[in-house]
C-alpha cells in the first residue's frame, strides 16, 4: 500500500482508454439506454424497478425482502427492514469474515554491492489475502491477494523472477513462525493487481476453523452501506476497520507494481481506514460477504479517508481465469477475451427506486470503433448501444454499467460462444460471436 492514486475521468475499456464523450455527440443514444431497450422488448415497470431487478442488492436483507414480496408482502424495503430489524449481526458476520482472511508474507532476497563486493539482503513484504476456495479434508486452498504483495519491484531480473518464491500464509490466531503455511504463486495480472496463491496438503489448514469467503455481488452494492476492511495493517497482525461505501464504482489511476506506467483501475471507494499492509485483504459487507480486495488508498495531501478495493466480481473473474488458464496451458497470466472494439459511456443518469430505497447509475455504452480483422468486424457497428451479454448457457447480463462488459470478458473461455444484444437505430439485434485461441489478450503484465 505504498502507491498514491489519482482520480481520473478515463474509462478502462476492451483494450482502450477513452474519456467520457458528451452525450450530444451520439445523437439518438439517449433514447437507447438499457432501460429503453428493455421497454421495447416488453418490460413494463419503472426504470428504478428495472435497475433493481437487473442489479439487485448485495445484502441478504434485500434478498429476504424479494422473497417476502413473492409471498405477498406489499410494503417497501424500508418498511421491511423496520419490521424485521437487522438481518445479520455485523459483529457475528465480521468475525466469520476473519476466518476467511489470511496474512501473506512474501520473503525476498535483494542483491546489492559495496566496496567489499556483492551482498544479499533478506526482507519481507507483508499484506493480506482472502481464501477463495478451500478443501479442508485435503488441506488445499486458493488464496487471492494483490499482485504487488508478491512482486519484488527492486529485482533486476525478468518479470517471472520478480515474483516471490518463498511465500508464507498465516491464519487468524496462528501468527507464529511454527504456524506458517507454505504457498506457491499460481499466476497474476499486474494490470488488475490480482494474484492467486495455492496451498497444498497443509495439516494446519486441515485442523483449522478457517473457511472460504462468501461473495457478494459488487454490481449491486449500495452507496452508504456499512463495510469492514480486514487485513494486516502496518504488518501488526489481523485488524478490522469499519466505514461505508463512498462510491460504488469508479476508475482511478494507479501505478503498476513495476513502476513502468500508470493504469486506470476499477475500484470501490470507502471511508474505512486503509493502511499499509491492508493490501490483499478483504472489504466485507454487514453479512460478512466479500465485496472487494483492498489494494490502494489516496496519499495526496489534504485528502482523507479515500481507500479503495477491487470489486469482487472483477477480482473473482480474474482469479478464476488465472486458475483455469494455469490448469490448461500452465500460463501464469489471465486471458481476457477481446472484442476488438472501442466503446465509451455516452450518457449517465442517476435513478432512484422508491420501493428499494436505493440510488443507481445507469450508463449508455456505445460502440465508437470496430477494428478490422477482429471477431466483431462486420457484426458490430459504430453507434451500436450495448444492451446485454450472455456467455454460453449462463444467465444474460444487462450492461447497465460499462464495467459489467469488461468483467464478463474474463469469464469467456476458448470455444465459448457469446451473444451480444445491441440497439441499432430502431432495431434490437442479437449477435453470436465464437471465440478461438487468437481472440484473447494476455494480461499477465
Give per-residue pLDDT as tens, 390-401: 999 999 999 999
Q: Give me the residues paired with residue 125 across strands.
A: 106
Q: Do 160 and 219 share a domain, yes or no?
A: no
The better pLDDT of the pair 176, 333 is held by 333
Q: How far is CA 187 from the centre of its chain?
A: 16
Mark whether 194 and 262 lie in a shared domain. no
- Range name among 64-73, 198-207, 404-413 with the lowest pLDDT average: 64-73
- Answer yes or no: do 169 and 227 share one domain: no
**Is the residue at 179 inside a domain?**
yes
Range of the domain at 169: 101-206
Whether the Cβ atoms of residue 204 and residue 179 lie closer than 8 Å to each other: yes
Residue 384 lies in a domain: yes
Say how far apart CA 110 and CA 87 lie, in whole Å.
50
Q: What is the mean pLDDT of the chain?
A: 85
Residues 188 and 241 in one domain: no
The whole-number pLDDT of residue 304 equals 76
Q: Is 361 inside any structural domain?
A: yes
Strand partners, 265: 252
Residue 236 covered by a domain? yes
Predicted local distance difference test score (pLDDT) of residue 332: 86
Question: Does any domain span residue 369?
Answer: yes
- At residue 244, the pLDDT reads 96
Domain final residue, candidates 206, 225, 256: 206
* Assigned domain for 89 exists: no
Q: Does residue 10 belong to any structural domain of this protein? A: no
Q: Which three cell numbers stand for residue 413?
A: 473461455
DSSP 27-63: GGGGGGSHHHHHHHTT--S-HHHHHHHHH--SSHHHH
The span from the CA of 169 to the CA of 155, in Å, is 22
pLDDT score recorded for residue 356: 80
Is pLDDT larger for residue 30 or for residue 319? 319
Quote the pLDDT of residue 308.
96
CA distances to 77, 268, 376, 382 from 436, rounded to whole Å, are: 45, 33, 13, 24
Pairing of β 17-19 and β 10-12: antiparallel
Q: Which residue has the higher pLDDT, 240 or 74?
A: 240
Q: What CATH number is given to the structural domain containing 406? A: 2.30.42.10
Helix (H, G, I), strand (E, B) or coil at 372: coil
Three cell numbers, residue 358: 436505493
Q: Based on the domain organization, do 363 and 279 belong to the same domain?
A: no
What cell does 312 get? 469482487
Domain co-membership, 250 together with 303: yes
Mean pLDDT of 276-296: 93
pLDDT exceeds cutoff 50 at 14: no
List residues bridging with 37 in a β-sheet: none
Mark whether 285 and 352 lie in a shared domain. Answer: no
Place of cell 455504452: 365
Give yes or no for a contact between 280 and 293, defined as CB atoms under 8 angstroms apart: yes
Shared domain check, 200 and 224: no
Residue 79 host element (H or E) = helix 77-84
Rounded average pLDDT over 211-227: 94
Measured in degrees and rounded to the nearest 5, phi and psi for residue 225 equal -75, 145
Say if residue 294 is in the same domain as residue 370.
no
Q: 196 with 132, same domain?
A: yes
The cell 532476497 sits on which residue? 109
d(CA 321, CA 298): 29
Boundary of a domain, candidates 149, 174, 206 = 206
Q: Domain boundary residue among 286, 316, 346?
A: 316
| Per-residue DSSP letter, 22 | P
Using the predicted structure, report yes or no on whether residue 4 has a pLDDT greater than 50. Answer: no
- Number of domains into which the chain is organized: 3
Residues 295 and 355 occupy one common structural domain: no
In a domain, 380, yes or no: yes
Question: What does the pLDDT read at residue 155?
Answer: 58
CATH number at residue 164: 2.40.10.10
**Those residues with Cβ within 8 angstroms of residue 254's Cβ, 6 or more apart along the chain or in another chain:** 3, 5, 193, 262, 263, 264, 265, 295, 296
Same domain, yes or no: 159 and 110: yes
What DSSP state is assigned to residue 65?
A: H
Amino acid at each position: 500500500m505504498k502507491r498514491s492514486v489519482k482520480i481520473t475521468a478515463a474509462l478502462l475499456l476492451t483494450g482502450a482508454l477513452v474519456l467520457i464523450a458528451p452525450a450530444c455527440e451520439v445523437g439518438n443514444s439517449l433514447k437507447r439506454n438499457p432501460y429503453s431497450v428493455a421497454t421495447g422488448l416488453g418490460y413494463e415497470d419503472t426504470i428504478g424497478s428495472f435497475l433493481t431487478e437487473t442489479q439487485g442488492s448485495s445484502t441478504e436483507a434485500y434478498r429476504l425482502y424479494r422473497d417476502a414480496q413473492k409471498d405477498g408482502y406489499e410494503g417497501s424495503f424500508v418498511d421491511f427492514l423496520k419490521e424485521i430489524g437487522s438481518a445479520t449481526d455485523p459483529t457475528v458476520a465480521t468475525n466469520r469474515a476473519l476466518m476467511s482472511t489470511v496474512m501473506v508474507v512474501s520473503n525476498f532476497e535483494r542483491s546489492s554491492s559495496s566496496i567489499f563486493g556483492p551482498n544479499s539482503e533478506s526482507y519481507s513484504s507483508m499484506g493480506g489475502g482472502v481464501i477463495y476456495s478451500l478443501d479442508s479434508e485435503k488441506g488445499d486452498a486458493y488464496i487471492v491477494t494483490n499482485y504487488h504483495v508478491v512482486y519484488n519491484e527492486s529485482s533486476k531480473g525478468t518479470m517471472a523472477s520478480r515474483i516471490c518464491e518463498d511465500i508464507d500464509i498465516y491464519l487468524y490466531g496462528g501468527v507464529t513462525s511454527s504456524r506458517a503455511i507454505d504457498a506457491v504463486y499460481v499466476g497474476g495480472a499486474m494490470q488488475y493487481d490480482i494474484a492467486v496463491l495455492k496451498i497444498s496438503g497443509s495439516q494446519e489448514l486441515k485442523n483449522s476453523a478457517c473457511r472460504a469467503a462468501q461473495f457478494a455481488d459488487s454490481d449491486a452494492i449500495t452507496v452508504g452501506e456499512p463495510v469492514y476492511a480486514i487485513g494486516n495493517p502496518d504488518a501488526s497482525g489481523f485488524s478490522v476497520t469499519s466505514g461505508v461505501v463512498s462510491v460504488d464504482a469508479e476508475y482511478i489511476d494507479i501505478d503498476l507494481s513495476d513502476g513502468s506506467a500508470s493504469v486506470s483501475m476499477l475500484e470501490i471507494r470507502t471511508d474505512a481506514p486503509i493502511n499499509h499492509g491492508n493490501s490483499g485483504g478483504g472489504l466485507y459487507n454487514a453479512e460478512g460477504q466479500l465485496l472487494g480486495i483492498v489494494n490502494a488508498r489516496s496519499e495526496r495531501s489534504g485528502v482523507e479517508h479515500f481507500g479503495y478495493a477491487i470489486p469482487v466480481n472483477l477480482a473473482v473473474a480474474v482469479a478464476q481465469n488465472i486458475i483455469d488458464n494455469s490448469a490448461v496451458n500452465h500460463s501464469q497470466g489471465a486471458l481476457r477475451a477481446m472484442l476488438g472494439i472501442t466503446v465509451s459511456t455516452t450518457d449517465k443518469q442517476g435513478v432512484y427506486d422508491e420501493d428499494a430505497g436505493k440510488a443507481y447509475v445507469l450508463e449508455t455504452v456505445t460502440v465508437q470503433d470496430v477494428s478490422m480483422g477482429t471477431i466483431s468486424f462486420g457484426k458490430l457497428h459504430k453507434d451500436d448501444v450495448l444492451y446485454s451479454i450472455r456467455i454460453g448457457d449462463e444467465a444474460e447480463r444487462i450492461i447497465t454499467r460499462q464495467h459489467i462488459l469488461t468483467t464478463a470478458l474474463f469469464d469467456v473461455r476458448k470455444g465459448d460462444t457469446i451473444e451480444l444484444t445491441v440497439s441499432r437505430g430502431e432495431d434490437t439485434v442479437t449477435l453470436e460471436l465464437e471465440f478461438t485461441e487468437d481472440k484473447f489478450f494476455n494480461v499477465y503484465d
